[in-house]
Amino acid sequence: MVKNIEQLITGLDNGLVLVEEIGEGTFSKVFKVSKQSKPYALKVERRFLGIDELPHHLKREKFGITGCGYEFGVQKTLSGIEGVPEAVFLYNKDAFLMQYINGKTIKQAGKQPIGFFDKLRKIASGINDRGYCLPMDLVFGNNLLADDEHNPYVVDFMLSEKLNDDNRSRLHALDQFAIDHLQHAYSK
């Protein structure tokens, strides 16, 4: 049964006010909320919302996904990289608060100038320097935002792997492939 979203959000933090749902993925939903008149994004696992009717081939265990706690930790590690929203507060393993980005997915925003992709490469380099790769599903464009000034923001790290000696070159190549693919599809 789907839980009442407003009650759920108030139960996490009675200072949060639901503004609207702003995104949905395979494993979670994202809501724009406000706290003391400041906008934030609240990411909540579908299972915490009472929505977990995923087909067997998409079950989180198949992907090694542990939940929002993992993603919050990744974003905390990436803190200060321009183009990565600031992780603000972890409520539980299924919900966390982050900086709100006023933008659209690249699919919604459409064609971007070449400088957008140069900035995205710089973001990827910063993420790699901190020991992670871009999210494995970045190539689809749902978790890449563009603001009105054509700045990129990577907003979903659920499928971002930690780099190590065994996977570094493979994951770096996948990062470059994702950016090249997005540039081919969305550059002006």
Q: How many other CB atoms sit within 10 Å of the CB of residue 10?
A: 14
Helix-strand-coil split of the chain, %, nearest 5: 35, 25, 40
Q: Are residues 69 and 148 in the same domain?
A: no
Among 56, 92, 83, 94, CA closest to 143 = 83
Q: What CATH number is given to the structural domain containing 180? A: 1.10.510
The parent domain of residue 54 ranges over: 5-99
Is the domain of 25 the same as that of 85? Answer: yes
Return the CATH number at 19.
Answer: 3.30.200.20
Same domain, 125 and 146: yes
What is the residue-level pLDDT of the chain in tens, covering all 188 positions?
Answer: 456 788 778 787 888 999 999 998 777 899 999 999 999 999 998 777 777 665 555 555 555 556 788 899 999 999 999 999 999 999 988 899 999 999 999 999 999 999 999 999 999 999 999 999 888 778 888 899 999 999 999 998 888 888 899 988 998 899 999 999 999 999 99
Q: Does one domain contain both 153 and 95? A: no
Collapsing DSSP to helix, strand or coil, 67 comes out as coil
Work out how many domains the chain is built from and give that number: 2
Domain boundary among 99, 123, 138: 99
Q: Are residues 66 and 123 in the same domain?
A: no
For residues 8 and 19, give the distance between their C-alpha atoms in angstroms, rounded to a whole number: 14
Burial of 165 (0-12, 13-18, 19+ CB in 10 A): exposed
Mark whether 70 and 115 lie in a shared domain.
no
The residue among 69, 99, 129 that closes a domain is: 99
* Residues 9 and 91 occupy one common structural domain: yes
pTM for the model stands at 0.88
